[in-house]
Amino acid sequence: MLPSRASVVVAGGGPAGFMAAIAAAEAGLRPGPDGPAVLVLEATAETLHKVTISGGGRCNVTHACWDPLSLVGHYPRGAQALRGPFSRFASGDAVAWFDAHGLELVEEADGRMFPRSNRSSAVVETLRRAAATGGVVVAPGRALKGAERLTEGGFLLTLRSGEQIVCERLVLATGSHPSGHRLAISLGHGLVPPVPSLFTLSLAQHPLASLAGVVMEPVELEWLPPPAPDAPASQRRQRHRQRGTVLITHWGLSGPATLRLTAFAARALRERGYRGSLRVDWSGGRTADELEHLLETCRREQPRRQLAAVRPWPGLSRRLWQHLIESCGSDPTQRWADLGRRERQALVMALRDSRYAIAGRGPFGEEFVTAGGIPLGEVDLATMESRCCPGLHLVGELLDVDGVTGGFNFQHCWSSGWVAGMAMAEALAQPTVLPRPT
């Protein structure tokens, strides 16, 4: 049986919810005579499931981006608004917090940070242990169905099981699940309609299918939307470009550069039906003159070698180079000495300005996060408390905030959860008498 009263109830047993609960407990919130200080409700049978499966079972906890001003640049939505929360609890604070709770994080070459054990279970165990040590009561398999703001303060909560709980503070940490949106709307909030973000792209007729598994870095990507004369001039002028690593897959393109592109262009892509074309600069930003010089050098220094046998620069994938030669109508077995000017110009164009038609998003379920949620203007980001409903706090992916891949979405969960937990502990330092549920 669940207690009928609690000082704080957190709806959602994910990373943001656990951090909010633990931070409140560690800041001094203690159990009262009629119930626990903090109660976490999780609708599913397992808490922290997303942490368990993230990063291929390794859990990319955060990113080694120590300056909050730089950190916000990795969030397509919510960037400037997050400067406040990140000034209080950013990546360095998250690393220190986990270290203080017995979990060492290790930085990889690309800045991502994982537990030294390379096991997401170590992160889950750390959070569950911290919650238990702080006296947090965790109730899996208990879904919050409705919440009513009481006239005298606090909330009357109704669970799907029919149980009722009275609490002083309520935290919604339900991620992007529609149930959390419905609860927030019932308490006076609006909603920015969620759309997929951080997804791979499928290519029409997939001209690169034979190159599946090829990785290139750096590559510059630019989405060229289909013509829309009725679109506002501001949208027609928008350019969505990213630079980074690209992975060619059996269905299209993936990799960090593709995911960043789709994150920042998430809403525009949705509005255009996930169509248009993709301009790909395989040269990593080299100018036409620089590429001409590289090709001329190959022709001069390797005249008897075949085109496919000599790459313009070492980092260019051999398979991709042969494909580009063939796409220009040249023969890969042709000698460099026989490469004419027009053929060189065609290769330069292929290297720095290949175009591919987009057929839509990658396979269903490949989306990592959603763009959308509760508008940030409706939340006091100094406390994560609702501006529409006093005593309600909103954290994590429920908000209209999303980051690119690399640990940034988890970092927002840690930051918003910690800020909410500290604010609740401070607000509840003086006990309040709440009515009993009828």
Q: What phi and psi values does residue 203 have, to the nearest 5 degrees?
A: -110, 140
- Tokens for 175, please give them: 């991620």
Distance CA 118, CA 100 (A): 18
390: closest CA among 146, 38, 149?
149
Those residues whose C-beta lies under 8 Å from the C-beta of residue 342, and which sit 6 or more positions away, are none
Amino acid at site 69: L
Q: What is the mean pLDDT of residues 408-414?
A: 97
Give the number of other CB atoms < 10 A from CB of residue 169.
28
pLDDT in tens, 166-197: 999 999 999 999 999 999 999 999 999 999 99
DSSP-based three-state secondary structure for 164: strand
Distance CA 235, CA 418 (A): 37
Which pLDDT does position 178 carry in this prediction?
Answer: 95
How far is residue 159 CA from its own chain's centroid? Answer: 30
Distance CA 24, CA 180 (A): 21
For 194-237, the three-class secondary structure string (H helix, E strand, C coil) is: EEEECCCEEECCCCCHHHCCCEEEEEEEEEECCCCCCCCHHHHH
- Tokens for 317, please give them: 């994938």
Q: What is the tally of helices (H) and strands (E) in the chain?
A: 14, 20
Give the number of other CB atoms < 10 A from CB of residue 128.
17
Q: Is the pLDDT of residue 145 over 70?
A: yes
pLDDT in tens, 43-82: 999 999 999 999 889 999 999 999 999 999 999 999 999 9
Distance CA 224, CA 222 (A): 6
For 33-77, the three-class secondary structure string (H helix, E strand, C coil) is: CCECCEEEEECCCCCCHHHHHHHHHCCCCEECCCCHHHHHHHCCE
Q: Is the pLDDT of residue 434 over 60?
A: no
Q: Which residue in the block uniquely carries the two structure tokens 């026989």?
A: 338
Sheet holding 62-63, edge to edge: 62-63, 112-115, 105-107
Neighbouring C-alpha atoms within 13 Å toward the C-beta of 418: 19
pLDDT in tens, 346-401: 999 999 999 999 999 998 655 568 899 999 999 999 999 999 999 999 999 999 99
Which pLDDT does position 431 carry in this prediction?
Answer: 56
Which domains, ranges and CATH numbers included, belong to the chain? Answer: 5-195+368-427 (3.50.50.60), 200-367 (no CATH)
- Tokens for 108, please give them: 């990889």
As a whole-number percent, the residues of the chain with pLDDT over 70 amount to: 94
Q: What phi and psi values does residue 99 have, to the nearest 5 degrees?
A: -65, -40
Distance CA 92, CA 98 (A): 10
This prediction has a pTM of 0.89
- Tokens for 83, please give them: 């400067």
Which pLDDT does position 318 carry in this prediction?
Answer: 97
Ordered DSSP codes for 243-265: EEEEEE-SSEEESHHHHHHHHHT
pLDDT in tens, 292-347: 999 999 999 999 999 999 999 999 999 999 999 999 999 999 999 999 999 999 99
385: closest CA among 7, 37, 80, 20?
20
Distance CA 31, CA 206 (A): 60
Pairing of strands 252-254, 240-248: antiparallel
Q: What is the mean pLDDT of residues 259-288?
A: 96
Give the number of other CB atoms < 10 A from CB of residue 83.
15
